[in-house]
């Protein structure tokens, strides 16, 4: 699988899984509404998909581009990617005034990214090893 395919597959899986988590949260009664500085706001399916895919694609693209030249990037991404996914729960989800179901659902969306990141970074690390050109 090419590096582009790894990034695209990870993004597709992240979007699908997190949209499923969001749908279950909605079915369970979560409103996904919160108070923003400009007034009431709501996290919708498009926001869930975008907040799942965009940071993931940016991070994995950096790994895909740098890993063939610097093996340490893969090791750093194994730590930094999952750490950022978890830390952003404390920075974004917990401080907001979501109802409990919405807060749990959105926290789960962050946590689902951890195994996706680990699998994708591992695959990119393998692709980088395969891309090494011998003298």
The pTM score is 0.91
Residues 6+ apart with CB under 8 A from 121: 60, 63, 74, 77, 78, 81
Supply angle C-alpha 56, 121, 111, rounded to 5: 55
Q: Tell me the pLDDT tens digit for each residue of 76-132.
A: 999 999 999 999 999 999 999 999 999 999 999 999 999 999 999 999 998 666 655
Q: Tell me the pLDDT tens digit for each residue of 91-103.
A: 999 999 999 999 9
Q: Coil, helix or strand for 134?
A: coil
């Amino acid at each position: 699988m090419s590096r582009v395919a790894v990034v695209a597959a990870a993004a597709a899986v992240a979007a699908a899984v997190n949209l499923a988590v969001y749908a279950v949260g909605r079915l369970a009664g979560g409103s996904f509404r919160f108070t923003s500085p400009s007034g009431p706001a709501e996290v919708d399916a498009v926001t869930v998909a975008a907040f799942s895919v965009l940071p993931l694609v940016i991070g994995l693209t950096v790994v895909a581009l740098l890993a063939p030249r610097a093996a340490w990037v893969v090791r750093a991404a194994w730590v930094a990617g999952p750490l950022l996914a978890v830390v952003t729960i404390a920075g974004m989800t917990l401080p907001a005034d979501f109802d409990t179901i919405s807060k749990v659902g959105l926290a789960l969306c962050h946590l689902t990214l951890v195994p996706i990141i680990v699998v994708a970074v591992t695959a990119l690390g393998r692709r980088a090893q395969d891309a090494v050109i011998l003298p």
